[in-house]
Homo-oligomer: A and B are copies of this chain.
Amino acid sequence: MTLSRRALIHLVGRAGGVGAAYRTMAAMGLLAVPAAYAGPPALPPGNGRRVLILGAGIAGMVACWELMQAGYDPLVLEARKRTGGRNWSLRSGDEILERNSVQHVHWPAGPHLYFNPGPARLPYHHEGILSYCRMLDVPVEVMCNDNRGALMQDDKAFGGAPQLNRAVVNDARGYVAELAAKAVDRDALVADVTVEDKERLRAFLRAFGALDKDLAYRGSTRAGYATPPAGGMQAAAAPQPLDLRQILASDFWQGPMQFGEFSTMAATMLQPVGGMGRIGEAFGRKLHQHIVLGAEATALRRTATGARVEWRDAAGGEHAEDAAIVLVTLPFPVLRGIDADFAPATKAAIGAVDYVSAGKVAFLAERRFWEEDHAIYGGISWTSRDITQIWYPSAGLHQQRGVLVGAYVWSEEIGTRFAARSPAERLEAALSDGEALHPEYRRWLGKGVSVAWPNIPYSGGAWAEWSREARAQHYPVLLKGDGPFLFCGEHMSHITGWQEGAVRSAHYALAQVGERMRG
């Protein structure tokens, strides 16, 4: 099958050139080139019909915008006093309200002095959210996600001393290539490579792992320099390779080393200029006539003609709004607390989804010591300690000050511990952990703030995590909707935890709206 396809394409290529072969492969679905982003679904004319939307996060605002374009009269009820939901950038003077604490951001103002407690990355193939950045005129820029100049630290390996990402990644790569070459020597082959190809396979492995002529790995400048090249007589010397047993003893290989190859983590990684919150803010400005802020839904009722949403305004006033369709984008930890006329299967489904207890810490740095002293520009250092990651800003390079993300936690165990701590305790723990990577840490960092998503009102968690069972049993129930109520948001997608999931789920729900409006 594969062979005959290839033979066919080869023939087409011979006859019609590469362009013809390319188009043939595309037509046959053989090109791994991503399918062009289809965009939002077509909607029947709205004729001013009302659609209610609960939540002015990304999903709710995408739905609102597309309904507006098609002539509907969407109304978004948003409990917070700002738009964006988890799309949020904290800047000078902002407030962080958790269930048991209030924090204020005491940083100077500056275009690069922001902190994204929620999403902070736009993978290049998340074409939905990127297309809305384009539509909203929110400029995006390249960010570094996986930085070969950053560090990895594990208390279980190398005596706890941090190692350069480039050394861990490339020394491991060299050892793997050396092992693979040994397999070739012993006549093991892979993927139908023939014996005639063995020499080419060896040459490939040598290039893959920077192996010596004898197919052994003895270190490489890919891992850095024992002596960096310079002027005069100073030529480059490769460092001694790291001890593979120490790499194996670490957890570096359980994620950090492959990080930049994961589909949602690979380059090119993008970010909005000025903070992820620019998206939610721009949407909010564009849709402001259709959004009520400070409007907290208190009850979702079914009526003869659709639904009635009862809501409370910021001053405590009670209101109700009727509509044939209500798009419910609220995260389930919030939705669970609202009195709703949902069917039992819907209620069971809403109760069956776990939310991740993620959290982050950010510090103001009076000096960007990571750039000046360590040549770390953006990207992430990893540690086995609770903080899990340190994120260096990709914006404001070479400026005096910067905002450093001193912790990004998402494991259930660490996240729960994190959320239980007071803001002050979180900062102290983050400084203490961070010193394992940067002993000079406390000298430059201050004015820390933290966000523990389980404690954030109107969120109640960072993002949905479907168990295999819940995905099979409950997700299809929710996808169909419950009478006048349709559900969307990142949790109603196969891209949970990403804004792209919110966009795509909104599109899915809009297609359902379209069907109902036609029918």
Residue positions of A touching B, CB distance < 8 A: 2, 6, 9-10, 12-13, 18-19, 21-23, 25, 30-37, 124-125, 127, 130, 133-134, 139-144, 146-149, 151, 153, 155, 159-164, 166-167, 169-170, 172-173, 175-180, 182-184, 186, 188-194, 197, 200-201, 204-205, 207-210, 217, 221-225, 228-236, 239-245, 247-248, 253-255, 257-258, 260-263, 266-268, 270, 373-379, 394, 397-398, 435-436, 439, 476, 479, 488, 492-495, 501, 504-509
Q: Which chain B residues border A223 with CB–CB below 8 Å?
A: 32
A178 to B184, CA, bound (A): 11
Measured CB to CB, the nearest residue on chain B to A148 is: B266
Contact check: which of B141, B504, B507 meets A141 at CB < 8 Å?
B141
Residue of B nearest to A238 (CB): B263
Closest B residue to A179 by beta carbon equals: B180
Closest to A206 in B: B253
Given A225-B263, A228-B34: A190 in contact with B235 (beta carbons within 8 A): no
Tell me which of B209, B253, B375 contacts A124 (CB under 8 A). B375
Within 8 Å by CB of A144, from B142, B147, B262, lies: B142
B228 touches A35 (CB 8 A): yes
Assembled-state Cα–Cα distance A375/B125 (Å) = 6
- Of B193, B397, B501, the residue contacting A245 (CB under 8 A) is B193
Could you tell me if B245 and A13 are in contact, using CB atoms closer than 8 angstroms? no
Contact yes or no, B505 A34, CB < 8 A? no
Report which residue of A140, A182, A476 has the largest number of chain B beta carbons within 10 angstroms of its beta carbon: A182
Residue pair A231, B492 in contact (C-beta under 8 Å): yes
Residues of chain B within 8 A (CB-CB) of A140 are 397-398
Is A191 a contact partner of B207 (Cβ separation < 8 A)? no
Residues of B within 8 A of A229 (CB): 493-495, 501
Chain B neighbourhood of A397, CB < 8 A = 139-142, 270
Give the residue of B133, B163, B197, B255 whose beta carbon is less than 8 angstroms from that of A32: B163
Known: A161-B31, A375-B34. A230 touches B2 (CB 8 A): no
Which of A183, A236, A245 has the most chain B CB atoms inside 10 A of its CB? A183
Most buried by B among A13, A19, A435: A19
| Given the contacts A159-B21, A224-B263, A142 and B143 also touching, CB distance less than 8 Å | yes
Given known A142-B144, A188-B179, contact A204–B248 (CB-CB < 8 A) = yes
List the B residue with the shortest CB-CB distance to A397.
B140
List the number of copies, as a whole number.
2
The 27 sampled A-B contact pairs (Cβ below 8 Å) are A6-B243, A19-B439, A32-B164, A32-B166, A33-B151, A124-B375, A130-B398, A140-B398, A142-B377, A148-B268, A178-B190, A179-B184, A180-B183, A183-B188, A193-B245, A197-B248, A207-B253, A207-B254, A222-B266, A225-B263, A229-B494, A231-B509, A232-B505, A232-B508, A236-B263, A267-B267, A267-B379
Complex contact A182–B178 (CB within 8 A): no
Residue of A142, A217, A221, A236 with most chain B CB atoms under a 10 A cut-off: A142
Asked if B175 and A176 make an inter-chain contact with CB atoms under 8 angstroms apart, the answer reads no
Q: Is the CB of A21 within 8 A of B494?
A: no
List, in ascending order, chain B residues with CB within 8 A of A488's CB: 231
Nearest B residue (CB) for A178? B190
Residue of B nearest to A271 (CB): B142
Please give me the 5 A-B residue pairs with the lowest Cβ-Cβ distance, nearest first.
A231-B508, A179-B180, A229-B494, A183-B183, A231-B504
Interfacial chain B residues near A23, Cβ < 8 Å: 439
What's the Cα separation between A103 and B242 when bound, in Å?
A: 52
Q: With A6-B243, A147-B267, A183-B183 given, can you name 6 additional A-B contacts, CB distance below 8 Å?
A: A125-B149, A142-B377, A149-B266, A197-B245, A207-B254, A222-B261
A398 & B207 in contact (Cβ 8 Å cutoff): no
Complex interface: chain B residues within 8 A of A235 (CB):
494
Contact B159 A10 (CB under 8 A): yes
B398–A134 touching, CB < 8 Å:
yes
Q: In whole Å, how far is A473's beta carbon from the nearest beta carbon of chain B?
A: 14
CB of A213, distance to nearest CB on chain B (Å): 16
CB pair B172–A179 under 8 Å, yes or no, is no
A241 to B30, CA, bound (A): 11
Out of B151, B258, B377, name the residue touching A207 (CB < 8 Å). Answer: B258
Of A25, A125, A233, which is in contact with the most chain B CB atoms at under 10 Å from its CB? A125
A268 touches B32 (CB 8 A): no
Contact B34 A224 (CB under 8 A): yes
B267 contacts A230, CB within 8 Å? no
CB of A98, distance to nearest CB on chain B (Å): 30
How close is A438's CB to chain B, nearest CB, in angstroms? Answer: 9
- Tell me the bound Cα distance from A149 to B127 in angstroms: 12
With both chains docked as a complex, state the minimum distance between the C-beta of A111 and any C-beta of chain B, in angstroms.
11
Contact A225 B493 (CB under 8 A): no
Partner of A221, one of B127, B178, B263, B509: B263
A182 touches B193 (CB 8 A): no
